[in-house]
Amino acid sequence: MPFFAILFDLDGTLTDPKPGITGCIQYALSELGYKPPNADELNWCIGPTLKDSFSQLLNTLDSTVIQQAILLYRRRFATIGLFENSLYSQILEVLKAIRFADYKTFVATSKPYIYATQIIEYFSLSLLFDGVYGSELDGTRSRKGDLIHHILLTEKLLPSSVVMVGDRSHDIIGAKRYHITSIGVTYGYGTEEELKAHGADFIAHSPSDIPKLIIRK
């Protein structure tokens, strides 16, 4: 069956959010009295949920401590970190080409919906997407598989007609859980090894590779 809808991860796929995410993590850790790692040592935090990242960074499963770290992160992210972000080159052209070829497009991010919509609007991408889907602030649908399932049900999409595009293992794992074709991108924060190890169906080394893998001639 030809593809009908394309789900795009946000961080590391559409935009490079490193300055904002790492800066907010450093802020949260400092406020809690910890010496934060430098930004490059926090690249692995781009993609996973904040709950998972802070659990590892603080070496704790204490939900109260983790939630405190998340609230501190969001204190800075909501006003500053949100906009310490940049659109990957070629992404605008890629989205236009896919839309021109009559595919439906959706943002599928573990980031809270309230922030994802602001970022999409900030980069003037709203008209290039049929919908933006993210998690809730309480963590609901922060797992990529849960989010994908929600999108499939809400948009009444057949898994066989959908492609998930993302840069980390959880994008691929979530797609495979619902038998969706996946494209792993290596220009973000996941490696080709990571993406292939979790079963990515295709690999895109640059944004311009994405339409070549999707659009049927």
pTM assigned to the model: 0.91
- Residue 6, pLDDT > 60, answer yes
Q: What does the pLDDT read at residue 1? A: 54
d(CA 171, CA 143): 9
What residue type is 119 in one-letter code?
I
The two structure tokens encoding residue 184: 């792993």
Catalytic residue check, 9:
yes
pLDDT in tens, 154-184: 999 999 999 999 999 999 999 999 999 999 9
CB–CB of 180/164 below 8 Å? yes
pLDDT in tens, 62-117: 999 999 999 999 999 999 999 999 999 999 999 999 999 999 999 999 999 999 99
Point out the catalytic residue in the list 9, 167, 171, 209.
9
pLDDT in tens, 125-144: 999 999 999 999 988 998 99
Torsion-angle region of 48 (φ positive above 0: left; ψ -120 to 50: alpha; else: beta): beta
Q: What does the pLDDT read at residue 64? A: 96
Q: For residue 49, what pLDDT band results from cuts at 50, 70 and 90? A: confident
CB–CB of 141/150 below 8 Å? yes
- Residue 217, pLDDT > 70, answer no
Q: For residue 48, what pLDDT band results from cuts at 50, 70 and 90? A: confident
Q: What's the order of all strands across the beta sheet hosting 104-112?
A: 131-135, 104-112, 5-8, 162-166, 181-185, 202-204
Q: What does the pLDDT read at residue 174? A: 96
